[in-house]
Amino acid sequence: MTKSQQQILRDFRLRSTNSRSDILKLFIDQQHALSYSDIEKEVSTQYDRVTVYRTLKTFLDKGMIHKVLDDSGAPKYALCTHTCSQAHHHHNHVHFKCSQCGQTNCMENVQIPTITLPDGYLVKDMNLLIQGVCRACRQ
């Protein structure tokens, strides 16, 4: 396990276990949003479905990862790069899904424009998905 994995787990006050370490490594190595099935494929020989589910839920509840919604219908998860917590995720950024490779990436430097809703509505979360062809697929 790399120092960064240990530090991330420590920062979120999580005990280091093999499953947490291995799943966190997937997020660090892939650098794009992963679905439950993506993660399960990678670790299915080591961990059962319940362990994978509980690990993702713990990461999500602690603010280590956030949900990314795209047109696939199944949620994907991405490593938080900002300081998030159990109480609040700070992810008002755009997500980009490549129509060729299918990867969904967080575009941290592209903010969701300010949207004003009618009186009586309260925004809890915003998601903006842009679809197109990523830099790698264009080359």
Predicted TM-score (pTM) of the model is: 0.79
The per-residue pLDDT for 6 is 87
The per-residue pLDDT for 113 is 83
Token couple for 41: 């494929």
End-to-end CA separation in angstroms for the chain: 33
- Total number of domains in the chain: 1
Domain residue limits at 121:
3-138
CATH assignment at residue 33: 1.10.10.10
pLDDT tens per residue, range 85-113:
555 666 678 889 999 999 999 888 887 88
Q: Which amino acid appears at position 83 of this protein?
A: T
Three-state DSSP at 86 gives coil
Token couple for 32: 């794009």
Three-state DSSP at 25 gives helix
pLDDT tens per residue, range 21-73:
999 999 999 989 999 999 999 998 999 999 999 999 999 999 899 888 888 88
